[in-house]
Structure 1
Amino acid sequence: MEVAPARRSRGPSPERTARTRAAILAAALDEFLDGGFAATRMADVAARAGLAKGTLYLHFADKEALFEGVLRGLVEAPLAGLAAAAPAEGEAVRDFLLRVLRPVLRDMEASRRGAVIRLVVAEGGRFPAIAAMYRRIVIAPGLAAIGALAARAAAAGELRGEALLRHPPLLVAPVVLAVLWNGLFAAGDPMDAEAMFEAQLDLLFPVRGSHPAET
């Protein structure tokens, strides 16, 4: 008499795994921004996501790994767009930067990217790992992309002087200032990150191409 082979248990589908991970990251972002990095506990993230604590650890080994997941979810797409895209034929670098970054800047607070920047500034001194993480995931690739675009603009005669070539952070310095300012003074005198960015472009790129139409 033949014995039927035992049925193999099937693991969760990729779709279910993706939904679980998305729920964890959404809950983690809420917890980090509500209480800060120091006060956030893995158990609280699991509870907010409606999951067992053990399920959370199947996806993220510890709180730092969880924060990295949140950070990547917020910034990888915009950074990939800046790094992988290139100006269209005949498009000035200034206009390319506006086309690619304007949607990101308009969404800075609604997406809560601005709030995460403020969290890293507030707690990075006490938790160097999250400051190092932000530098590795956001700052380093961002500055590399800016440096490449600055070199392209310089070769095309689009730049005023060599300041941006020597100091790539100049491009986004007004945006960082606006984000920090709005965390402290938004109720009384908010700064417009998009307007600040465009004003900086006016200083760095005196030769301007045609502007894309507003949408």
Structure 2
Amino acid sequence: MTGGRPGAGRVRRGPSPDKTARTRGAIVAAALVVFVERGFSGTRMIDVAERAGVAKGTLYLYFRDKEALFEGVLQEVMADLVGGLSLQGPAPGETLRDFLRRTLLPAFRSLETSRRADLIRLVVAEGGRFPDVAAAYRRVVIDPAMGAIRRHAQAAAARGELSGDALVRFPMLLAAPGVLATIWNGLYGAEEPLDTGAVVEAFLDWVLPAAPADRA
């Protein structure tokens, strides 16, 4: 005869990895909307939880505070922009110019529609008042992207593709046209919008002109 409480010996299982991923994805998607609409200072965790359709306690199981939530949004939304540079390099025989056109241009062309531009403008506007916001953006976006650009520029210089070492010393120059277009669109986009991808492409053509054989 078997005794004990009903259900004794059953193994309690936590949420499945798929459910966990879906919940986290819903939270991040909701947080992106709220951060863009209200800014970092105006965003409350309860607002994000309500938009995501989860309990506030559930939200804290995934992100310990608003700063961690913002960093999670950056990691999700900026992944392809950073990953294209840092997780791969030029293919055999591919120049730095062609590599950057292949990896950077698609990400910059979708900067506005993906809402990455809104996050950049948020960091510019509020990073000075909230050092954790600026630090998260540097940790997630700037440092890996600049490190990758510097490595690729050093390799390109060794191949004789660069006439100087400016891009090695100041890799942030490569981000300048995209940031400029993003800030411009935030201020003047309603009257005179800039195509961020076109601005970056023009910059690449200016600083990394095609070899004569490529232009033929």
Same fold (TM over 0.5): yes
Quick one: which amino acid aligns to residue 63 of structure 2?
F
> Is 2:18 the partner of 1:15?
yes
Counterpart Cα distance in 2 of 1:166 and 1:68? 27
CA contact (8 A) 1:159 1:206 kept: no
- 1:155 maps to amino acid: A
Q: Distance in 1 between matches of 2:61 and 2:43?
A: 18
> Residue in 2 aligned with 1:42?
45
Deviations 1:103-146 (A, max 9, x none): 10111011100100000011111101110111111101110011
Structure 2 residues not aligned, in runs of 5+: none
Percent sequence identity over aligned pairs: 57
Matched, 1:158 2:161: yes
Q: TM-score, normalised by structure 2?
A: 0.92
Aligned-partner residue type, residue 203 of structure 1: W
**Aligned pairs, number:** 211
Q: Give the structure 1 partner of residue 3 of structure 2.
A: 3
Aligned-partner Cα distance in 2 for 1:139–1:157: 26
Q: Report if the CA contact (8 A) 2:105-2:201 is conserved.
A: no
Aligned partner letter, 2:21: A
Give the drift of 1:201.
Answer: 1.6
Q: CA deviation at 1:26?
A: 0.7
The one-letter code of the counterpart of 1:165 is V
Please point out which of 82, 86, 91 is paired with 1:83. Answer: 86
TM-score by length of 1: 0.93
Give SS of 1:68's match: helix
Q: Deviations over 1:47-88 (max 9, x none)?
A: 111111111111111101110110100112331221121211
- The separation in 2 between residues aligned to 1:100 and 1:193, in whole angstroms, is 14
How many angstroms apart in 2 are the aligned matches of 1:84 and 1:27?
Answer: 28
Which structure 2 residues correspond to residues 163-202 of structure 1 after superposition, within 5 A?
A: 163-202=166-205
Amino acid at match of 2:55: A
Superposed counterparts of 1:113-128, under 5 Å: 113-128=116-131
Q: Which amino acid aligns with 1:31?
A: V
For residues 214 and 122 of structure 2, the distance between their equivalents in structure 1, rounded to whole angstroms, comes to: 37
Is 1:134 the equivalent of 2:103?
no
Distance 2:16 2:111 in 1: 33
